[in-house]
A = this chain, B = another copy of it.
């Protein structure tokens, strides 16, 4: 990346920003206000110099144009649920808080699309689509509190990735402000569009480093009328991996397929006893969706497959209440594990499905080698595991071990043919590992795009691309 000397936000800049956004409370300069924008769901705190809350494309374009002219970093931000440091203002500068811009949420049932402004909560899109008999499939676990703008920037995944894909697969078009403050439209309102390069899919998942998304056109699908769920208990984790493969090659494509390891089961049972078998090495939850008769047949067939391959027990929910109950344990994992220790390092290394048993073995070895509190759960059907390490960041010695363990988790994922990040993004924390996955030439092709669009590197600097010599650091910052 080109080395850049950024201008600091001074009273002249504040005056010019206030001319763009006259409403006083939408431009924040006071320390206590700024402090609320210094962290996200990941690690480390960084103070911005200025926070603005734009509520129109014109405002965003004018601020970005000013920032480009004056070479000031711009950090777009939704609800700051990022687990990879996506919105952290690591170089100071201006935070664009887009979470207040949530006015537009239009559903066009005939075209099967939704048009939304960036601050709309993802769960609001789910609800609006459902009211029209439709579904917006991407369902990151944060959907009740995260904005669609953040989901787009990070290309969020979720449990339904297995059957339905990720956020990117449902974005047909964008309105977008370039790093130089130009407003462009990419894609459109149709599923098929091959008019030039696919800027839509380049921008989605670029973590705010290429510009600011100001509107999105999303694809919806008819809502499947019914779901069915089972829970399968396994004495050993390798068998559970085989069951996953067997179900997936039987002609059944589940809508969700989640796994929890023993450490995870223990954490949940310690947090709120739910009758989970603490001696089991793994439990799997499978959901299928579709027409009523089909889902009944399919869930029974999936149950038979699990039993035939050696599940200790299979439990099929027969009512909606029972279904919700089965999913309760999975939903408790996150709160349960943060009760163990205060600092949670949440990873999302993803491997080809066939390598899930091997990845579990590697994670077990890493846990023992570095003596860290490592629990594993995640989206087994698409190979997207969530190894979570819980620690205490005040304990420097422990955090050093966590650093080494995290590094080895990334190495294991890549050695098994997988990726650093399935759905959380790279942000600042994983940047040092990019070359390990992409090679020098691969990373260079990404840099060429970044440099050509944003030659002054004002858009979300410090993310994705490693600084020379940058290493993982969990003991400072």
Cα–Cα, bound, A61→B387 (Å): 39
The CA of A422 and the CA of B424, in the complex, are separated in Å by 31
CB of A4 within 8 Å of the partner chain = no
Instruction: State the CA gap A164–B291 with chains docked (Å).
Output: 18
Specify which chain B residues have a CB less than 8 angstroms from the CB of A245 in the assembled complex. 110
Given A184-B442, A448-B452, A201–B199 Cβ distance below 8 Å?
A: no
**Contact indicator per residue, chain A 306-342, by CB within 8 Å of chain B (1) or not (0):** 0000000000000000000000000000000000000
Interface residues of A in 179-218 (CB under 8 A from B): 182-186, 188-199, 201-202, 204-206
Complexed CA–CA distance, A445 and B225 (Å): 42
Chain B residues positioned under 8 Å from A113 (CB to CB): 352
Question: Are A225 and B251 in touch, CB under 8 angstroms?
Answer: yes
Given A441-B183, A441-B184, A442-B185: A192 touches B166 (CB 8 Å cut-off): yes
Interface: A453 (CB within 8 A): yes
Instruction: Answer yes or no: A420 CB below 8 A from chain B CBs.
Output: yes
Nearest-neighbor residue (CB-CB) of A438 within chain B: B196
CA distance A445 to B221 in the complex (A): 31
Most B CB within 10 A of own CB, among A155, A194, A348: A194
Interface size class of A (residues with CB under 8 A): 35 or more
Assembled-state Cα–Cα distance A186/B446 (Å): 10
Contact in complex: B190, A383 (CB < 8 Å): yes
Residues of B within 8 A of A462 (CB): none
Q: Could you tell me if A166 and B191 are in contact, using CB atoms closer than 8 angstroms?
A: yes
A93 at the interface (CB under 8 A from B): no
In the complex the two chains form, what is the Cα distance from A200 to B441 in whole Å? 15
List of B residues within 8 angstroms of A452 by Cβ? 448-449, 451-452
Contact between B423 and A111, CB atoms less than 8 A apart:
no
- Contact status B196-A198, CB under 8 Å: no
Sample of 6 A–B contacts (CB below 8 Å): A161-B192, A190-B383, A202-B202, A222-B248, A222-B250, A449-B453
